[in-house]
Amino acid sequence: MKTSATSEPTIKKRGRPRKTPAVAQTNETVHERFVHSLPSDTKIFALGGMNEVGKNMYCFEHENEIIVVDSGVLFPEDELLGVDYVVPDYSYLVQNREKFKALIITHAHEDHIGGIPFLMQYVDVPIIYGSPFSIEMIKRKLDDRKITSNVTYVPIDGNSSLKTKYFTVGFFSMIHSIPGSYGAIITTPNGRIITTGDFKFDLTPIGQNADYQKLAFSGASQVDLLMSDSTNSFVEGFSVSEKKVANNVMELMKKTPGRLIVSTFASNVIRLSQILDAAIKHGRKVAVFGRSMENVVDIGRKMGTIHLKDDDFLSGEDLPWVPNDKICIVCTGSQGESLAALNRIANGTHKYIKIIPGDTVVFSSNPIPGNTQNVNALINALTRVGATVIYNSPQLSLHTTGHASEAEQKLLLQLVKPHYFMPMHGEYKMLKKHMASAVEVGIPEDHCFICNNGDVLILRDHHVFMNGEKVHTDDIYIDGNDISGLNTSVIKDRQLLADNGLVAVVVGIDSRTNTIISRPNIVSRGFVFIKESQTLLKEAEHVVLSALKAKMSQRITFNDIKNTIRTSLEPFLFKKTNRNPIVIPVILNHVDAIAEMQKKQEARRKAHEAQAAEQ
């Protein structure tokens, strides 16, 4: 049943997709024929996920409706000091909140659901569609942050569909490293779009298989635009099958004589399930450490993805009383995170586990780019305290990716046969390589679009084009529990502090007489070593004092004093050290002057109250 523009979408089992008309042949290019967008156009744009790996958020707008696919976070690089997450700027959705009809979740990884708690602070999300596993992960995430919402959750599978006034969305199963991964077929008044989410093709998968038949049928029925995962564009051939990894993990469980400590991504639920099943099959009890790992195991058992019973698990207190060859410890920390369980085990600071002779540590993961140094340091630390460390290698496959390699991307393009193509979810070089693969399989180069966040694609009557239109996008930096997001200037200040340190200038004045009553005192933190820089600091104090005396020959404000300190000290310090520390003026006013100011303020307040009473 179709709903009105203002009613909530309904969900039903989808039938056969309608066959859209063939694209009209023309000698003109679409770019020449279409320049200005029309109210009847369908708009496609990303608030996150383009030219970056993470922060995925893709929007589809037609007249007074917007549906959004995914709402993820990006984990910060080292230069974003003190930042825990990066999320998209939601201002466009805030401005168009009445259009927001549904949030569709392709799967439950952080770069696809991690932004939901922050999105909900800005926009009322009316309804979330996702697999039962994804919905459970979202609920746990919101509970952890103590966020309550009236959002409606609707579970989906590969046979579900949802319908609004302008959109019909069907779903198809995809293979990824987490259960309940789906792509979406979005039918609009102007044509049909397929967005894959994260995927790979594994001919011997563990868990659900990809819906090759539905993809091929959609391709035969005309797909106007394909949006596809680009993360592994530079990886040639087909990726290693998850079943091969499972067999290798099983062999390790069988052959390892002592305790087995296995670390992997907590989000890789398929792998985690394999490890736990292999442990139980070979007579080992399982101990799980790390909050994220414990949460995933709990949800996996609840949803039937992980099949272990209560008595298959060990607590930390149980470990000393169980033979070593009957123990499998599964923990977080495969990326060398300093606070994760495996790092604390290596450093001897874990509450329950210390490395003992005969322990074998297995990394069922690859280092994420940028983490290689941390992972190597962790491997060295574990080896130094006596562990045997085994990690993924060409000789022993203990990890495989969840993202499509180049050959798998080409297979998808051949199945779907889109008229237009937009690579997504990747850095620029990944998007560019994915586009090259699309051209190789026959998609015209001028039918491929490499977009930035905020770039708008126009879908009109089965044609796709760009006309330079953009929506506002930016990065919002989340620090701790501050959901409002840090200003870019705050990040710049942190970087400046890290690079150059700070200098505080303390000066005492008497505002009644406009005089300086104590010489400026300069305190340095992270700029220069004070004991070795006394001469420099004394010169700096003299520079500030001279500038203040000249300025205070006339009546000035506290802001004037602060500006004088900065404008006199900053050039001097740069000239002497070629560095720009943050300069913080601290003005101490005379006690009597402060008392006099307070009396004047009180008198003004009473006068205002008296005037108000008379009126």
Q: Is the CB of residue 117 less than 8 Å from the CB of residue 145?
A: yes
> Does 485 score more than 80 pLDDT?
no
Average pLDDT for 89-101: 94
Last residue of one domain, picked from the residues 329, 356, 391? 391
Residues 184 and 85 in one domain: yes
Tell me, what CATH number does 543's domain have?
3.10.20.580
> pLDDT tier at 605 (50, 70, 90 boundaries)?
confident
| pLDDT for the residue 107 | 96
Q: Is the dihedral of CA 193, 197, 203, 204 positive or negative?
A: negative
Residues 154 and 189 in one domain: yes
Residues 135 and 191 in one domain: yes
Measure CA of the first residue to CA of the last residue in the chain; give whole Å.
Answer: 62
User: Is 397 domain-assigned?
Assistant: no
How many structural domains comprise the chain? 3
Average pLDDT for 211-239: 94
Q: Is the CB of residue 219 less than 8 Å from the CB of residue 417?
A: yes
Q: Is the CB of residue 72 less than 8 Å from the CB of residue 88?
A: no
Looking only at the bridges linking them, the beta strands covering 10-13 and 160-163 are antiparallel
Chain segment 109-131, per-residue pLDDT in tens? 999 999 999 999 889 999 999 99
Q: Which domain holds residue 532?
A: 501-597
d(CA 12, CA 170): 9
pTM: 0.78
d(CA 421, CA 291): 40
User: Is 578 domain-assigned?
Assistant: yes
Residues 147 and 46 in one domain: yes
Chain segment 502-516, per-residue pLDDT in tens? 888 888 888 778 888
Tell me, what CATH number does 448's domain have?
3.60.15.10
The torsion region of residue 82 among left (phi > 0), alpha (psi -120 to 50) and beta comes to left
User: Is 566 domain-assigned?
Assistant: yes
Query: Which residue pairs from 145-154 have beta carbons closer than 8 angstroms and sit at least 24 positions apart in sequence?
Result: 145/117, 147/117, 147/120, 147/121, 149/120, 149/124, 149/125, 150/124, 151/120, 151/125, 151/126, 151/127, 152/8, 152/126, 152/127, 152/128, 153/127, 153/128, 154/11, 154/127, 154/128, 154/129
Residues 82 and 176 in one domain: yes
Q: Which amino acid is at 292?
A: S
Helix H, strand E, coil C: the string for 10-47 is EEEECCCCCCCCCCCCCCCCHHHHCCCCCCCCEEEEEE
Higher per-residue confidence, 481 vs 288: 288
Tell me, what CATH number does 253's domain have?
3.40.50.10710
Q: Is the dihedral of CA 324, 326, 332, 335 positive or negative?
A: positive
User: Is 614 domain-assigned?
Assistant: no
| pLDDT for the residue 524 | 81
Q: Which amino acid is at 558?
A: F
Q: Is the CB of residue 195 less than 8 Å from the CB of residue 184?
A: yes
| pLDDT for the residue 29 | 44
> Does 474 score more than 60 pLDDT?
yes
Query: Which residue pairs from 61-64 have beta carbons closer than 8 angstroms and sit at least 24 positions apart in sequence?
Result: 61/96, 61/99, 62/166, 62/167, 62/188, 62/189, 62/190, 63/5, 63/39, 63/166, 64/5, 64/98, 64/99
User: Is 224 domain-assigned?
Assistant: yes
d(CA 68, CA 47): 10
Last residue of one domain, picked from the residues 485, 515, 534? 485
Residues 89 and 190 in one domain: yes
Residues 313 and 359 in one domain: yes
User: Over pLDDT 90: what percentage of the chain?
Assistant: 54
Burial (CB < 10 A; 0-12, 13-18, 19+), residue 482, is exposed
Residue 219, both tokens:
């391709």
Residues 555 and 480 in one domain: no
Residues 288 and 255 in one domain: yes
Cross-strand bridge partners of residue 523:
504
d(CA 287, CA 294): 10
Last residue of one domain, picked from the residues 391, 421, 456? 391
Q: Which of 261, 277, 260 is nearest to 269 (CA)?
A: 277
Residue 492, both tokens:
């710049």
d(CA 46, CA 229): 13
CB atoms within 10 A of CB 307: 12
Average pLDDT for 61-66: 96
> For residue 515, what is the enclosing H or E element?
strand 515-525
User: Is 29 domain-assigned?
Assistant: no
Residue 519, both tokens:
């010489």
Average pLDDT for 211-231: 95
Residues 297 and 441 in one domain: no
Helix H, strand E, coil C: the string for 560-614 is HHHHHHHHHHHHHHHHHHCCCCEEEEEEEECHHHHHHHHHHHHHHHHHHHHHHHH
Higher per-residue confidence, 395 vs 326: 326
| pLDDT for the residue 427 | 93
> Does 78 score more than 90 pLDDT?
no
User: Is 22 domain-assigned?
Assistant: no
Residues 172 and 204 in one domain: yes
Q: E strands along 85-156, which residues?
A: 85-88, 100-104, 127-130, 152-155
| pLDDT for the residue 541 | 87
Q: Is the CB of residue 333 less than 8 Å from the CB of residue 378?
A: yes
User: Is 70 domain-assigned?
Assistant: yes
Residues 130 and 200 in one domain: yes
Alpha helices in 115-235 (DSSP H): 116-122, 132-144, 212-220
Average pLDDT for 386-399: 86
Higher per-residue confidence, 475 vs 410: 410
| pLDDT for the residue 12 | 43
